[in-house]
Structure 1
Amino acid sequence: MNLLVAGCGQVGARLALRMCRMGHDVSVVDRDEESLERLGSGFTGLTFVGNTIDLDVLRRAGIEGCDAVAAMTDSDNVNVMISQIAREMFSIPRVLTRVYDPDRERIFAQFGLYTICPTALTVESAVSALTEQRAVRYVTMFGQTLSLSAAPMPDALNGVTLGRASVSGGLVAGVLHKNDTIELCSEAPERLLVEGDRLLLLRRAGEGERR
């Protein structure tokens, strides 16, 4: 797959790295050159600096030869614009739109946009954990099914920042604090984890949990 990721925040960078490691050709564009540093030395794809809704920038990043585009900036409006450009102007067959506002997600879905809402996924997982329901939710991206679940924080992560927290077989997407507040990794990477926190884990379905 030839994938263009627009937006190199915490999620965009990790998506690009993961897809790159899976053997896909990945290009990343962000208006902030420092944001591209999140990719690190392990990223073997291409990076571009520029406005993610600028047609010349997108062409320079190779959108015309892409099989898929993932709009992962921190702005719902920008992500929708990127997705519409990719679909309507460049006829990209697979376009993923990251949307923070659950209400907007429903509206955008009516226009045929394939969306993923980290806010809704996190809240669903948190509600399941708080009400002792089955704390696993599933989402499909690019043909891959992922699970989002809440799990007790390992003692070894006490005092570690949220952005540096890692567990075997999964990605730490956020934290459910014991005071019932939720923080996403992309929102508070420097937040220190403390005893009683529950991690919100994103995994490939079937890894680390039973469906």
Structure 2
Amino acid sequence: MRVVIAGAGSVGRSIARELLAHGHTVTLVDKQPAAMRIASVADAEWQLADACEISSLAAAGVGECDVVVAATGDDKANLVVSLLSRTEFGVPRVVARVNNPKNEWLFDSAWGVDVQVSTPRIMTALVEEAVTVGDLVRIFSFQGSGTSLHEVTLAAESPVAGRTVRDVVWGPGCFLSAIIRGGEPLPPDPDEQLVAGDRLVLVLSERADQASLQALVAPAPAAR
């Protein structure tokens, strides 16, 4: 697979190293001369240019690549790279980095983005996952589909703890995809009993009622 990465900062270089280790061909594009002096990704092709210009993308071989990764630290630049890659070169898959979570709504198919990756959002989800029991935490959104991946850790007082999978009505637009128990993933077998401490991985569509789902899995409020 041939991949062009716009942005040779720490994020772009890390992605490049991983892709090269898996046998892919990578071209890094960056307009900062300092980026060219970093030899940590010596096996990649390098181009000193502004990835927001059509001529630069053409010279980097975007027209022949399989994936473009817009990985700069500037959301505006990532949107421009994504849009040009899709509209001018017809790249099959465009992955874009979101630096400011407030800009997530822009990174959609209208700007040529297939997959958005928001590092702050992912880190927030991981923090919430680590410290929160009983709360539904969004882990990832599947761009353009209205579908998202959520996780919840069952508390001992959760209404579904002790019930089998078949006995739980998740509601429309919600699908239990896996149970993580003791560090091991388990398939959601209908006869599997849910226990406190289980981490449930749920796939939700836009039809899902997250408030009702939260009430279903969370501990009942303490009596006053």
Give the TM-score normalised by structure 2. Answer: 0.57
- 1:109, distance to aligned residue in structure 2 (A): 2.4
- 1:93, distance to aligned residue in structure 2 (A): 0.3
Q: Does the 8 Å CA contact 1:53/1:78 hold for their aligned counterparts?
A: yes
The whole-number CA distance in structure 2 between the counterparts of 1:78 and 1:210 is 40
- 1:130, distance to aligned residue in structure 2 (A): 2.5
Give the TM-score normalised by structure 1. Answer: 0.60
Q: How does 1:157-172 map to 2 (within 5 A)?
A: none
- 1:119, distance to aligned residue in structure 2 (A): 0.9
The whole-number CA distance in structure 2 between the counterparts of 1:124 and 1:133 is 14
* Alignment RMSD (CA, Å): 2.7
The whole-number CA distance in structure 1 between the counterparts of 2:39 and 2:125 is 29
Gaps of 5+ in 1: 141-205
- 1:110, distance to aligned residue in structure 2 (A): 6.0
Cross-structure match for 1:14: 14
Cross-structure match for 1:70: 69
Cross-structure match for 2:53: 54
Change (3 A) 1:110 1:53: closer
Q: Does the 8 Å CA contact 2:70/2:78 hold for their aligned counterparts?
A: yes
Cross-structure match for 2:117: 116
% identical equivalent positions? 25
Change (3 A) 1:3 1:133: farther
SS at match of 1:34: helix
The whole-number CA distance in structure 2 between the counterparts of 1:35 and 1:132 is 43
The whole-number CA distance in structure 2 between the counterparts of 1:52 and 1:110 is 19
Cross-structure match for 2:32: 32
Deviations 1:38-97 (A, max 9, x none): 451x53120011111112221111112111100000000100000000000000001001
Mark the structure with the bigger radius of gyration: 2
Q: Does the 8 Å CA contact 1:4/1:69 hold for their aligned counterparts?
A: yes
- 1:10, distance to aligned residue in structure 2 (A): 1.1
Gaps of 5+ in 2: 143-179, 186-224
